[in-house]
Amino acid sequence: MKHYERGNMDTLALEATQPKKAPNGAVAAGPVLPVPAKRKPAKKAKKAVVFFEVEILDAKTKDKLCFLDKVEPNATIGEIKSMFHKSHPQWYPARQSIRLDPKGKSLKDEDVLQHLPVGTTATFYFRDLGAQISWVTVFLTEYAGPLLIYLLFYFRVPFIYAPKYDFTASKHWVVHLACMCHSFHYVKRLLETLFVHRFSHGTMPLRNIFKNCTYYWGFAAWMAYYINHPLYTPPTYGEQQVRAALIIFLFCQIGNFSIHITLRNLRPPGSKTRKIPYPTKNPFTWIFLLVSCPNYTYELGSWLGFTLMTQCLPVAFFTLVGFIQMTVWAKGKHRSYLKEFRDYPPLRSPILPFIL
């Protein structure tokens, strides 16, 4: 009897869990357990972007030239220049100087707006750099001039010396050697401009090309006139002096080229990356241990060798003026290295080891 009652109870429990059928055979609606709804993944809250307002004033008059609304915080100065150019087409980006202060330094194109010491309403000052020209064009013009001008004097074309010397050749072999060295120097410079140099700045003011060409072309004519003059006399110590000078000249030319290759390899194509130059396996680069700008050191050595070879006063004067100018450039670059790199080698001098 107990087994029978237990079986009936199990049957009733099983029927209670199944849906009941209606009299017509349809399934009767019974209690249905609620199915939990799938939750949609919560959307990540987007960070609100704080846009900048940029106003550009004339550095001289303080007049407002341009107002840029809703500038993205990660915009660069180069991009701001492009925006400014759209409203003022006469000032293309290369001739713009954007500054934080009217008398301050120009900001770099790669500087990012939100990293500058400005608020969400940023004020910049604009200066017109004037018409610009590419550095490649400037260098090609500077170096092609001396090469051609010197050859005019070497071949003694008419209207330079007396008519009887037109298209004549010098009897001194040092004159021909000097022409080869001078031509080699400027051909090297032209080839380096085309295939070696990588410029951190794409352009320079157009007015500079006239000043630079006057310097290079004028000195080339002055030197060539005296070296190729019919009355020119060879150096005092003859062949020994010329050969020693030639060794100095060629040694420094190779050294100068080696430094240019080393500096080129520091900067990837299309980049403005600056790194500390260090000596390589090339012995000509070991001078980097003591000098910040050994390309100028070797350049000076080349012209000292050329001065010794020709024993010509205009060449000596050109070497002196070039040394003064290169010293100014070397000191500026040396200061820039010290400011930019905290671990810059302390033993280095700008251009002459332990001296200058």
> Which H or E element spans position 312?
none
Write the CATH number for 74.
Answer: 3.10.20.90
Do both 179 and 151 map to the same domain? yes
Q: How does pLDDT run across 76-85, given as a tens digit for each residue?
A: 998 999 999 9
Is the pLDDT score of 35 beyond 70?
Answer: no
Please state the domain count of the chain: 2
Of residues 71, 76, 80, the one with CA closest to residue 111: 76
Do both 124 and 238 map to the same domain? no
Q: Which of 130, 164, 179 is the last residue of a domain?
A: 130
Q: How far is CA 136 from the centre of its chain?
A: 12
What pLDDT, on a 0 to 100 scale, did the predictor assign at position 33? 54
- Between β-strands 52-58 and 121-128, what pairing exists: parallel, antiparallel or unpaired? parallel
Which domain, by its residues, includes 117? 52-130
Do both 208 and 117 map to the same domain? no
The confidence band for 42, taking pLDDT boundaries of 50, 70 and 90, is low
200 assigned to some structural domain: yes
71 assigned to some structural domain: yes
> Which H or E element spans position 152?
helix 135-154
pLDDT (mean) for 146-160: 96
pLDDT (mean) for 189-210: 88
Answer with the residue of higher pLDDT: 39 or 337: 337
Q: How does pLDDT run across 83-94, given as a tens digit for each residue?
A: 999 989 989 898
Exposure on the CB side of residue 20, measured as CA atoms within 13 A: 9
352 assigned to some structural domain: no
Do both 295 and 151 map to the same domain? yes
Do both 75 and 201 map to the same domain? no
What pLDDT, on a 0 to 100 scale, did the predictor assign at position 181? 97
Is the pLDDT score of 2 beyond 50?
Answer: no
The confidence band for 12, taking pLDDT boundaries of 50, 70 and 90, is very low
Do both 152 and 234 map to the same domain? yes
25 assigned to some structural domain: no
Question: What is the per-residue DSSP string for 268-294?
Answer: -TT----------SSGGGGGGGTBS-H
Q: How does pLDDT run across 241-270, given as a tens digit for each residue?
A: 999 999 999 999 999 999 999 999 988 776
Q: Which of 130, 150, 181 is the last residue of a domain?
A: 130
12 assigned to some structural domain: no
Do both 112 and 208 map to the same domain? no
Answer with the residue of higher pLDDT: 268 or 101: 101
Of residues 267, 131, 143, 128, the one with CA closest to residue 203: 131
Do both 165 and 104 map to the same domain? no
Do both 162 and 229 map to the same domain? yes
pLDDT (mean) for 146-156: 97
Do both 88 and 184 map to the same domain? no
CB 156 within 8 A of CB 88: no
224 assigned to some structural domain: yes
Do both 266 and 145 map to the same domain? yes
Do both 83 and 210 map to the same domain? no
Q: 12 burial class (0-12, 13-18, 19+ CB within 10 angstroms)? A: exposed
Q: Which of 71, 98, 130 is the last residue of a domain?
A: 130
117 assigned to some structural domain: yes
8 assigned to some structural domain: no
CB 78 within 8 A of CB 115: no
CB 296 within 8 A of CB 326: yes
What pLDDT, on a 0 to 100 scale, did the predictor assign at position 34? 57
pLDDT (mean) for 194-209: 85
Q: How does pLDDT run across 320-330, given as a tens digit for each residue?
A: 999 999 999 99
